[in-house]
Amino acid sequence: MDKNQELIRKRENSKLGGGKERIEKQHAQGKLTARERITLLLDEDSFHEIGQFVEHRSTSFGLDKQKFPGDGVVTGYGTIHGRLVYVYSQDFTVLGGSLSETHAAKICRIMDLAMQNGAPVIGLNDSGGARIQEGVVSLAGYADIFYRNTRASGVIPQLSVIMGPCAGGAVYSPALTDFIIMVEDTSFMFVTGPNVVKTVTHEEVSSEDLGGAKTHAEKSGVNHFIASNDVDALKKVRDLLTFMPQNCEELAPQIENFTFNTSKLDTIGKILPDNNQMPYDIKKVIDCVIDDDSFREVHEDYAKNIVVGFARLEGRTIGVVANQPMSLAGVLDIEASKKGARFVRFCDAFNIPLLVFEDVPGFLPGTDQEWNGIITNGAKLLYAFAEATVPRITVITRKAYGGAFDVMNSKSIGSDLNYAWPTAEIAVMGAKGAAEIIFKREIKTAENPQSKWLEKEKEYAEMFANPYRAAERGIIDDVILPEETRAKVIAGFKMLEKKTTTLPKKKHGNIPL
């Protein structure tokens, strides 16, 4: 046979993965093949494969008779919107996508290249886990990947797309990456499966309820984005990368063709209700400040009392963190603190400025919160903001009470610019509670205690439930009208473009984990 023809034959054979029958089974489950996923993810004709002919070297348990070119993972590089990315896509049609020594080595190879060349790495996970027949070497392969995930953290963006099973030790690689996208109904993640759970704890639970996309989006917070199918998941990856730089030394790309509907400037001042005890949707405020249709919420279904996500201001990427009065009145609790801290640290690692909208009545009280560590978990958000060196601007729309005021990017923990609307209330606590404490004796001895309490509550509110005391002290830089917010924030970030801040020399800090 002509040597060129032999090469072409080998290439075509490698593209068949585990064979046509298994490919058809993959399609019947509503899943694309490993190569189809890469084709949809990357720009047309941009993929260059590495390790196409790699095969495992195992001979135990009949593996010497089950060899497939590529060994269950397709690896290589290409472009998304013209920018370099590295990708690996596990092939479930080959031995269930199980990870072998050589399978792991292929993934490590492209992760090393991604680090050396400063480009994102995307993992498309669809694997039954470690290849049991290989024993400890497959486990060591996972550890090699975990090590590289950790070294790459904060250096290059790492995205994991769960498009099938991801169980046991396999889950820790996605957990070490920046964002996880899971596909509804066809993907799941768990350390121990339903059968083990039933044996150990006697709980009856399905794979979907234990570790499906919705479970991890709503309950655990492991999953950042839900996709309806494989195609939707890959579109989300392509979109998400437009908000990120290639690496920690660069800035996110600027979009030149942005729009902003100026009619929103007339709307923003009408969003807050007259009664400060009534909720409103902070997302409406965010929408009235950022470029049209530019908000990409992260962790939308988890810890809804805080909103985080990417957006653009005049085409430039920013990270948004905002208390949500529509959920638990916008209080900070354990889940919200962890969610916010993780997002803040990502933005800081990749030079993405932070815009904070603050309306927080405090931390959520209760034995459940205290016994589960609200102190150290709340401190995570505090630590993340205090450590961040990117430009940071805070806008206080309404309540800013107690320690939560400090935590939500206050000037004293390094915020660059702090603005407040005229509706802002900046105090140790709400007027009602403060009056009860400060004027306790007067209220108790009054002829009409309830009337006296209301009188003192009003007195305290007039004194402190406004932004002017804070402005007098320079804790707030300016009190602005709601419709001035976009212009002020844009000007502020432009002023801060060349900001340089250095952290004290150290190996690393000890964040309260």
Q: Which residues are catalytic?
A: 168-169, 403-404
DSSP code of residue 504: P
DSSP 240-283: HHTTS-SSTTS-PPPPSS----TTHHHHGGGSS-SSTTS---HH
Q: Which residue shows structure tokens 């212009």?
A: 487
Distance CA 263, CA 287 (A): 12
C-alpha atoms less than 13 angstroms from C-alpha of 507 in its C-beta half-sphere? 1
Which amino acid belongs to residue 323? N
Biggest distance spanned by C-alpha atoms of the chain: 108
Distance CA 52, CA 339 (A): 39
**3-state DSSP call for residue 301?**
coil
Written as six digits, the tokens of 412 are 């004293």
Which amino acid belongs to residue 232? D
Written as six digits, the tokens of 201 are 């704890």
Instruction: Count other Cβ atoms within 10 Å, centred on residue 164.
Output: 21
Segments of 151-258 assigned E as strands: 158-162, 165-167, 179-183, 188-190, 225-227
52 φ, ψ to 5°? -60, -30
Per-residue buried b or exposed e for 454-480, using 16+ beta carbons within 10 Å of the residue's own CB: ebbbeebbeebbbbeebbeeebbbebb
Which amino acid belongs to residue 312? R
Written as six digits, the tokens of 317 are 């990427």
Q: Which residue shows structure tokens 């886990």?
A: 129
What sign results for the dihedral spanned by CA atoms 381, 387, 388, 391?
Answer: positive
What sign results for the dihedral spanned by CA atoms 54, 59, 63, 65?
Answer: positive
Q: Which residue shows structure tokens 């320079």?
A: 474
DSSP code of residue 61: G
Q: Which residue shows structure tokens 């399978």?
A: 103
- Within 8 A by CB and 6+ apart from 123, the residues are 87, 88, 107, 158, 159, 160, 161, 173, 174, 177
Written as six digits, the tokens of 427 are 């105090």
- Within 8 A by CB and 6+ apart from 235, the residues are none
Distance CA 21, CA 263 (A): 57
Distance CA 487, CA 344 (A): 23
